[in-house]
Amino acid sequence: MTRFVLDQYRIVLFLCCILILAGSYFSYSLPVSLLPELKKPEITIYNVWPGALPDEIEQALVEPLENTLDSIPGVQDFSTFIYPEAALTRIYFKYNTDMYQAYMDVLDRVNRVPNRPVTALEPAITNKSATNDLVVADLLLTAKNGEVYSRENVTNIYEQVIYPKVKAIDGVLRIFTHLNSLEKRLVIEFDAHKLSQYKLEFNDLANAIGNVSDRSGGYIELGEKRYSIKYQGQHTIKSLRNLQISQRNGRNIYLNDVAKIKVDFVQHETRNYFNGERSFHFGLVAAPGSNTLNILEDVKEVVDSLNNSTLAESGLQLNLGADNSVPIVQSVSFVSRNLIVGILLSVFLLTLFIRRPVLLVFIASIVPLSMLGTILVMAITGRSINTISLAGIALSTGIILDAAIILVDSILRQRQLGKSSIKAITDGTKEVSKALFTSVITSIIVFLPILFLDTAEGRLFHDLAITISATVFFSLIASLSLLPIMMRVYFKNQTFICNQDGLYLNLATKLSSLTSSKIRQFSIAIIGVMLPIILSIVFLPNIDVLPDPKGHAVSVHLSLHDRLNEKAKEMRFVDPIHDMVQDHIASGQEPQILSYSVGNLREDSLSLRFYAKDHNKINELKVWLEQSFSDGKFYDAYVNIDSLLRFSLSNYQDVEVNILGKDNAHLSELAQKFKQLVEKELPEAYVDFFGGEAKQSERIVFTPKDDVLQRLNLDRNQIGTLTKAISDGVFVGEYFDGAQNLTMQLKSARTEQLSDLLDTPFHFAGYGTLPLSVFVDMSLTSSDERIDRYNGNKSQVLYISPPDDYSIDQLLTVLKQKVEPVLYKDMQEGESVEYNGSASKLKMIVSQLSIQAGIAFLLLAVIISIMLNSFRYAVISLSAMPFTVLGGILAINAINLFSFQSLDVITFIGFIILIGLAVNNSILFVSHFKNGVMAGEQKSKALYDAIAVRSRPILMSTLTSILGVLPLAILPGTGAEIYRGLAAVIAAGMLFNLIITIPLLSSLLMLTTNENKIKSSLSVEPEVISNVA
């Protein structure tokens, strides 16, 4: 290959130019995002049934659907959260499931649900694997300059003006409104007293309204023509008021006499606030493969344009709730900056070893070529430029230079022996090429476990494996193709003589002496292999799922002690919070607040998010908020800094506890006790529980008086319709407004007092006007405000966030050893506790990584065995791994002396990268020793030569690997927590590997090499391997 490169250098240079051009193009055209896209194997079903209670929804919609889900191939788990008027079912599938077929299967099951209520809206079914949940921008529409906020006006402006503009932005996949459906209905609100006054029965009114729709009359043939017939019975909304209901005493009774007509929203409004003002909140979801930064720039332009034109005239203002481009730019800049610093440090180090500037340029030129090749691979595989993919390139800095360093060192050594330039290049390249190829293969193999991680957390780092593998591959190709050409130019008119550095000869002498006796060899072997294994077990850090990189916002969750409606929450909490924030801003004190928003998720909670003007003062903002919400008289507050990883993974730091059974009331008691036990054991943990008293809402129960109904010849369904009419209303048909069908709801005018309900009059022919109390008894009780289900069982769900500096593994230990045993004493037969969320993910990820890392380790042993033609040499090459891994483990423990660092998935990946790096040094050293022995040298002489020749490139490549990742380990910045543990593991592990590799391998090689046996084999067999480094 080397001769071809030298002879056909024009072709090689042409291909390099193509690579440079293609890589440069895609470096500007690749989409930029904070994190890689994650397509979850999940399908959601959102059912809305206006006016329905949770238990009605469970019985009519949820249970019939869940009974069919188990039969869908690939279903792993499913859960349903049922609220008043709505239910969300989430179906989780196994990875590698055909999600298109799964979506069709789910659609089929939804269509099979029998007796679906007429007033239930069409379910929204979303295939999460075909899209993503990346909300690139939160937008809030508010009134300004003292204008009154009108839901009708705001939603009209949104639908007619804002939605078309925003949806047209390139890269926006969909827009969703936060818990505020825009669907409307036609409400006919009747006055029961007027209805009785005119002696009209409820059915008279319902039948008259239900008959106003258009009807098809079929076709008629007249003469030679055929006509379609349509009876235009539908009124306009205006003319509907003049609909004649009946006639009494010669007078026509019109709808307008007994009722009011209005178009209203199907669902009640969930109020949101921005900087203290009522707001309409909606979010933009990015399309797969889109450029997040470009979308945000376009969004800002659209917001400014609308605010300066249409919205200004309407008294409204559109606000960007959070500029998500800031953390993206800062995180990407942080990694890019550290990448450059790592390269500069590595090149500076090489100047201490290679005093020829031209050679330094040759070696350094491999870096941009490798990176451009990696970018080309990213484009082909559909990846984006994000913090994970850039980190992969940054972590490869040292690896990129390895092949170039070793190759240049080998060629120089051959030239110094007096060989011609061509001979030195070909022999030097041949000497190390097989070892370099093996190193690349082994490096790629150790990344295979990452590619086989089939959880969302694992797939987050597929980009890391792809970029590192691609970088290593292109560094080898660039080194073997370009460096021989460069070295040929360099050698022209140059004269070299043998001048081996005395430093490495002295090192070879001392290390050979150190490993000369059996006692020393055994001692070094024990210290290098057995002791690190024991210490690694002793100092093994706590296991976690993912790190918690801090973002730019602080979230405050208020769990209210009382259940309140929207208006009451605004008066008691939202307005005082606004006054508090405005007073703080007016005072000019730090930290200054840029903006804040308030969301209403439930009647017993508020969700707030604050942004600081200075992102560097996010911790100070958290402290101020903790102090401001420390009262605890009317609510419990939980304050935390949002994580950057929330852009791709929600609730990844929470443990989901499902308490399963049949008796929902008893499950609620168990969950309440579980919460109390957790708060006792871990006071700083946050437990979000939807149950207990807060989950119970007051319910009015009407019980029919069957004896009265029998006397009046009435049935329960008739009275049930009346009770429905005085609440959310009765469905009486559909009305087409020219654009869409609106359901028509017939309901009684609102009653302010509970006692007035029983006094509601209804007229019955033959019996006159009678109050509702004649037919029913009324009582007050409590009911489930929310019903949770998991895999077809009733469930009580708790979400537990560990305290700061606490891993998921530590949290699970407390839950299983201290909380769960106490709870079991009160549990009934058939009840159980299951841990999901981060808990199940942690177990799955650790299991997968352990198995796949073990397989990768065995593959390494097999490949090295093939390369060295000896399983014994393969084992020796891997023997430095325990001591290397110990270095990484001690690094994590050292970080914990200053800040929290667990053994999370990313840090575990650092150990995988570390093994791939460290084994290269072993291969390089052992292969040289083996060549010497196979050439007939005594093992002491072969060892001396291996140390003298290989110590220099091993030292250079190891130190460049350490310096390449060191900036990520020590420098602060946005997202630094993601890479800190990973980079520290690599840096410390490689340092330990540098210390132990040559002494340990020397001892093991001297202990296990039988010279007599080798000489015997050489006397009967030709040399098997030669010129292998």
- Percentage, residues of the chain above pLDDT 70: 93
Confidence check: pLDDT of 492 > 90 = no
844 Cβ contact list (under 8 Å, min separation 6): 455
What's residue 551's pLDDT? 81
Q: How far apart are CA 402 and CA 366, in angstroms?
A: 10
Give domain 550-696+788-837's CATH superfamily: Multidrug efflux transporter AcrB pore domain (3.30.70.1430)
Among 895, 892, 136, 35, CA closest to 391: 35
Contacts of the segment 113-117: beta carbons below 8 A, 24+ positions apart = 113/61, 113/64, 113/65, 114/64, 115/60, 116/60, 116/61, 117/49, 117/52, 117/60, 117/61
Ramachandran angles phi, psi of 63, nearest 5°: -60, -45
HEC string for 972-1028: CCCCHHHHHHHHHHHHHHHHHHHHHHHHHHHHHHHHHCCHHHHHHHHHHCCCCCCCC
Confidence check: pLDDT of 91 > 90 = yes
Strand runs (DSSP E) across 427-539, as ranges? none
Pick the more confident residue, 335 or 883.
883
pLDDT band (50, 70, 90) for residue 631:
confident
What's residue 691's pLDDT? 56
Half-sphere exposure of 139 (CA within 13 A, CB side): 26
Q: Which residue has the tokens 């037919």?
A: 775
Confidence check: pLDDT of 508 > 70 = yes
Residues in the chain: 1029
Output helix, strand, coil percentages for the chain, rounded to the nearest 5.
Answer: 55, 20, 25
Strand runs (DSSP E) across 723-850, as ranges? 730-736, 741-748, 761-764, 768-771, 776-784, 787-790, 793-801, 832-837
Q: How far apart are CA 976 and CA 981, in angstroms?
A: 9
Among 196, 204, 257, CA closest to 732: 204
Burial class (CB in 10 A: 0-12, 13-18, 19+), 874: buried
Tokens of 645: 């990883």
Among 907, 917, 915, CA closest to 968: 907
What's residue 986's pLDDT? 92
- Across the range 125-133, mean pLDDT stands at 77
Tokens of 879: 């023997």
| Whether the Cβ atoms of residue 811 and residue 685 lie closer than 8 Å to each other | yes
Among 865, 876, 880, 882, CA closest to 1005: 876
Pairing of strands 184-190, 741-748: parallel
Among 655, 652, 664, CA closest to 691: 664
Q: Tell me: the pLDDT tens digits for 292-323?
A: 888 889 999 999 999 998 888 888 999 988 77
Q: Which residue has the tokens 């007096």?
A: 418
Q: Is the previous residue joined to 591 through a cis bond, with omega within 30 degrees of 0? A: yes
Q: Tell me: the pLDDT tens digits for 559-577?
A: 888 878 788 888 888 889 9
Confidence check: pLDDT of 892 > 90 = yes
Pick the more confident residue, 19 or 691.
19
pLDDT band (50, 70, 90) for residue 1021:
very low
pLDDT band (50, 70, 90) for residue 648:
low
What's residue 809's pLDDT? 86
Largest CA distance in the chain: 129
- Across the range 654-675, mean pLDDT stands at 88
Confidence check: pLDDT of 702 > 60 = yes
Q: How far apart are CA 99 and CA 868, in angstroms?
A: 45
For the domain covering 184-265+705-774, report its CATH number.
3.30.2090.10
Q: Tell me: the pLDDT tens digits for 338-358?
A: 888 888 888 888 888 887 888
Highest mean pLDDT among 10-14, 144-148, 844-848: 10-14
Which residues of the chain does CATH 3.30.70.1430 include?
40-130, 550-696+788-837
| Whether the Cβ atoms of residue 987 and residue 994 lie closer than 8 Å to each other | no
Burial class (CB in 10 A: 0-12, 13-18, 19+), 224: exposed
Highest mean pLDDT among 141-150, 675-684, 912-921: 675-684
517 Cβ contact list (under 8 Å, min separation 6): none
Contacts of the segment 305-309: beta carbons below 8 A, 24+ positions apart = 305/165, 306/161, 306/162, 306/165
| Type and span of the H or E element at 431 | helix 421-446
Mean residue pLDDT across the chain: 84
Query: CA of 53: how far to CAs of 78, 83, 183, 335, 387, in Å?
Result: 21, 7, 19, 51, 45
In terms of CATH architecture, what is 40-130?
Answer: 2-Layer Sandwich (3.30)
Half-sphere exposure of 828 (CA within 13 A, CB side): 11
Q: Tell me: the pLDDT tens digits for 903-959?
A: 888 888 888 888 888 888 888 888 888 888 888 888 888 888 888 888 888 888 899
What's residue 1020's pLDDT? 44
Confidence check: pLDDT of 889 > 90 = yes
| Type and span of the H or E element at 319 | strand 316-320
Lowest average pLDDT, out of 649-663, 676-690, 783-797, goes to 649-663
In terms of CATH architecture, what is 2-30+328-538+869-1020?
Answer: Up-down Bundle (1.20)
pLDDT band (50, 70, 90) for residue 886:
very high
Q: Tell me: the pLDDT tens digits for 386-443?
A: 888 888 888 887 778 888 888 888 888 888 887 888 888 898 888 888 878 888 888 7
Confidence check: pLDDT of 1018 > 90 = no
Lowest average pLDDT, out of 140-154, 221-235, 883-897, goes to 221-235
Torsion of CA 731, 736, 737, 741, to 10 degrees: 70
| Whether the Cβ atoms of residue 764 and residue 718 lie closer than 8 Å to each other | no
What's residue 601's pLDDT? 64
- Percentage, residues of the chain above pLDDT 90: 18
pTM, rounded to two decimals: 0.80
Q: Which residue has the tokens 């293969």?
A: 441
Pick the more confident residue, 288 or 278.
278
Confidence check: pLDDT of 862 > 80 = yes
pLDDT band (50, 70, 90) for residue 814:
very high
Which residues of the chain does CATH 3.30.2090.10 include?
184-265+705-774
Confidence check: pLDDT of 206 > 80 = yes
Q: Which residues of 152-172 are buried (b: 16+ CB within 10 A; e: fewer)?
A: ebbbebbeebbbeebeebebb
Query: CA of 38: how far to CAs of 288, 325, 455, in Å?
Result: 9, 19, 10
| Rg for the chain, CA atoms, rounded | 37
Lowest average pLDDT, out of 189-193, 336-340, 352-356, 796-800, goes to 352-356
Alpha-helical runs (H) found in 308-382: 310-314, 325-353, 357-380
| Whether the Cβ atoms of residue 678 and residue 800 lie closer than 8 Å to each other | yes
| Whether the Cβ atoms of residue 694 and residue 563 lie closer than 8 Å to each other | yes
What's residue 417's pLDDT? 80
pLDDT band (50, 70, 90) for residue 1013:
low
